[in-house]
Structure 1
Amino acid sequence: MSELNISTNSCGPIVSFHPLVKGDFNFWAHTAVTEEVLAALGQAKVVIWPQVFTKELYFYSQNIGLLLFPDYRVRFMFPGKGGQFLLFKALGLPCPKTIYVPKIAAFGPHPATAKIDLPAFPFVLKSDAEHEGRGVFLVRDDRDFNNGLSYIKCREREGSFGFLIQEYIASPYDLRVVVFGKNFYPFWRACEDDFRTNLVQGGRKIPCPDANLEEKALQITAILCEKTGTNLAAIDFLIDERRGPLLNEINFVFGRRLLGQKYEEFFFKAVKEFLADLS
C-alpha cells in the first residue's frame, strides 16, 4: 500500500493521525492523549486526519488554532441524518421532504408537541446514525411502519436515538459525488432488487444516464462545499423527475467499492493541494 511523506513540507510541523500519511509527528487515530501527543500538537501547524478518529482531539486541535485536513466542522456540528437534513434546510439547498423525529416519544401525548402528519404511503423511514443502507425501510403500509418503529425502539434501548420520515422518490438510479479536496468524482448507481442502491445492498455502478442532471448535482455539491468547508465526503443525491437532484446524505465515512485503488491517489492529491494552498 502506498504512503505519502509530507514530513519535510514547509507548512509544518505536521501531525498525522492517518496511517498512510507520514508527518513530522505520527500517531494512531485512537491513541491515548498523553503529554507526548499534546506536546506534538503544541508544536504543530497542521493536522491530517483519517475518516475515523477521536473527535475530541479534533475539537482540541481546532480550538488551539491548527489547520486541519479534512475539514470536519459540519460533520460534528450537524451529526447524523437528522443533522444533515437541518443543514440542507439552513443552507437552502434542495432535499427530499423530511420530518426529523429525535425520539419515538414525539408521537406521544406531550404538551406542545408538534403534530406529526405522516406522508402518504409509500415513504421511507431511516434511523439516524447507521450506514450502508442499514436501518432504512420502505414503508408501504401500517404493518411496515410498525415494523420500522419496532426497529427504532430497539435502537433507542441501545442508546441510539433519532430517525427520519422521508418522502419516497421512485427513480431507476441515484448519484454519489465523492469529494476529495477541490475535486468531485460522480458515480451513478442502480439496483433492480432493492430501492436502496448501496453497493453493499446489491446496487451496481452504471454509466451516466443524464449529463444535465449530473452537472446540476455537481453545482449543488460545489455550493455545499463552499458554504461548509467540506473537502472529504461522499455526497448522495436522489433524483426526482420534476425537481432534479436532491441532497440525501453526506457520508464522511465511506467505502472504497466505487473508487477501488484510486482512493489513496485521490486522497494524497487532495492533501498535497491543501498544503500547497497554505504555502
Structure 2
Amino acid sequence: MKLSFHPMIEADKNILCAGREPGKADRKAIQNARAVILPQGCRKSLYQMASKHCKYVFPNYDALFQYPGKTGQIKLFQKWGVPHPLTFVFESVDEYLHRDYSEKSTIKFPCVFKFSWGGEGHTVFYVDSEIMLNQLIDRAVEFEKTGQFGFIIQEYIPCQGRSLRVVVINKTLTAYWRVHTDSFYSNIARGATIDYDSDPHLIEQAKTAMIDFCEKTHINLAGFDFLFHEKNCLPLFLEINYFFGRKGLGGAETYYKMLVTEIKDWLKMVDTSLIQSENLK
C-alpha cells in the first residue's frame, strides 16, 4: 500500500495532516505502507513519524531537520567540505559577543548578514560598515526576545549581479540564472530576471557538484543557490531552499506535473528495491 499525505498526489490511501499533529491513526497507516509521500511543507513531527515507521519516504528531509535554518546549512556544507563563502555561524547574540576577538576581526566589509530563518532575501542584508553590523546585532537581540535565534556573517562575493538556482526533484535537475544587475538581491520576487542559457559550462559544474552533494545527503527535493565569483569558475554553495518558488520551473502547473512524474519514478524504484529484498529472503 502506498500512502500519500500530499494533497496533490494520489495514492492507494490519502490522508491530510495539514494544520494538525499526526496521531495514532496516521502512525498505523504509515506502518502498513510500503512507501509514504509527504507534502513539501511537511512538519517535523510527521516526517519523524514517517521515517521511523516506513523505510521509503519522499521527500527525504533528514538534512532539513538535522541541519535547520541558514546556520544549519553552513554546518552541513562544512561537514561535507563543499566550497562555500567564508562564513561565521552564531547561534545567539551571546555567542557572538563572547566569540574570540581574533576570529571576529577577520570579518571584512562589505559582508553579508543573514538571520537563520526567512526567504526571498527578506532577512538578508548587505553590510558595508561596523555601524550597520551593530544595528543588525541589536535587531537580533530583539528577535531573540520572541524566540528566534541564530545568524551568520558571510563574506561578500562579487558575482556580476546573478546567482544560479538548481532545483532537484528526485533525479531531475532544472537550472536557471537569476539576474539583477542593479541590486544586491537576485531573488525573482524582488525583480530579478530569469536566464536559462548563459554560461552552460558553469551550470554543468554546479550540477555536478550538486549531484555529488545530494548523493551524500540524500536531498531529493530542494532548490540550491550557487554563486560564482566574477574572477573564477568555482561553484560556491550558498543556500538550500526546501520551499522554493516555481516561476523558474514554468509555474505551479508545470512544477506539479514534474513532481508527479518524478514521484512515479521514485515509486518504481521502491517497488524494484522491495522485490529484490523479497528475493534475497
Same fold (TM over 0.5): yes
- State the match for 1:68 in structure 2: 57
Per-residue CA deviation, residues 51-70 of structure 1 (Å, 9 max, x unaligned), is: 11221121122112331011
Superposed counterparts of 1:125-274, under 5 Å: 125-172=113-160, 173-240=162-229, 241-242=231-232, 244-259=234-249, 260=251, 261-274=253-266
Q: Does 1:24 align with 2:12?
A: yes
- State the match for 2:26 in structure 1: 37
Per-residue CA deviation, residues 201-243 of structure 1 (Å, 9 max, x unaligned), is: 2211124321221111011111111111111000000111225
Query: Take 2:233 and 2:132, find their aligned partners in 1: how far apart are those partners?
Result: 27
Aligned residues: percent identity? 33
Query: Take 1:34 and 1:91, find their aligned partners in 2: how far apart are those partners?
Result: 36
SS in 2 for 1:50: coil
Q: CA deviation at 1:71?
A: 0.9
Which piece of structure 1 moves more, 239-248 or 128-137?
239-248
Query: Which of 255, 275, 278 pairs up with 2:270?
Result: 278
Unaligned runs of 5+ in 2: 272-281
Detail structure 1 runs of 4+ shifted over 6 Å in the superposition. Answer: none
Q: Do the aligned residues in 2 keep the contact of 1:124 with 1:137 (CA within 8 Å)?
A: yes
**How many equivalent pairs are there?**
266
Q: Which amino acid aligns with 1:213?
A: L
Unaligned runs of 5+ in 1: 1-12
Query: Take 1:216 and 1:81, find their aligned partners in 2: how far apart are those partners?
Result: 23
**Cα-Cα RMSD:** 1.8
Query: Take 2:16 and 2:102, find their aligned partners in 1: how far apart are those partners?
Result: 45
Q: Which amino acid aligns with 2:259?
A: F
Question: Normalization by structure 1: what TM-score?
Answer: 0.90
Query: Take 2:93 and 2:102, find their aligned partners in 1: how far apart are those partners?
Result: 13
Cα 1:170/1:65, change in 2 over 3 Å: same
Task: Compare the two structures and name the one with the higher helix fraction.
Answer: 2
